Amino acid sequence: MTAERETKYWVIVASKDHVRTGIAEGFAQACHGKAGPLKRMRKDDFVIYYSGKQTMGKMDKCQEFTAIGQVKSDDTYLFQMTADFCPSRRNVTFFDHRDVSILPLINELEFIQNKQSWGYPFRFGFFEINKHDFDLISTQMLQH
């Protein structure tokens, strides 16, 4: 008999314009299309997107959590976007939400250990958070 796997909670970092495309089409991409991060996720895990920027390649600050959803299946698949770019994706059911600034949450988020350098964890592009942090962020995002 196999033990039930605990639900995990993930943060993916992407510009807000890219997140909007994922929401509209029901998929998650991470770390410029790498498969590795997505393969760590399992069906029914939760994912929150953080957008440091509005637009990829520009210096327009966003600093918001911009999407929240649940992984639909255990399948990671390739999607041919252009002739030379074929990123890995996961299907995600995104929830109705409001974008939430990270700034008022920094002191309460446990994954941010150094509050002065709060942006540091996001440099990795993909990481796991605990249920406390997920609940803190999701409660704000799911209020309408």
Say what the pLDDT of residue 59 is: 85
Does 14 map to a domain?
yes
Say what the pLDDT of residue 5 is: 79
Does 1 map to a domain?
no
> Of how many residues is the chain composed?
144
Torsion-angle region of residue 130: left (phi > 0), alpha (psi -120 to 50) or beta?
beta
Q: pLDDT tens digit string along 57-69?
A: 888 999 999 999 9
User: Virtual CA dihedral for 91, 95, 139, 28, nearest 10 degrees?
Assistant: 30
Enclosing H/E stretch for 81: none
Say what the pLDDT of residue 58 is: 86
Say what the pLDDT of residue 104 is: 97
Does 130 map to a domain?
yes
Does 109 map to a domain?
yes
Split into its structural domains, the chain has a count of 1
Say what the pLDDT of residue 1 is: 54
Does 75 map to a domain?
yes
Residue numbers in the chain where pLDDT is lower than 50: none
Q: Which amino acid is at 107?
A: N
Say what the pLDDT of residue 100 is: 98
Note down the domain range covering 75. Answer: 9-141
CATH at 80: 3.10.590.10
State phi, psi for 62 to the nearest 5 degrees.
-125, -60
Does 3 map to a domain?
no
Does 34 map to a domain?
yes
Find the farthest-apart pair of alpha carbons in the chain and give their distance in angstroms, rounded.
51
Does 89 map to a domain?
yes
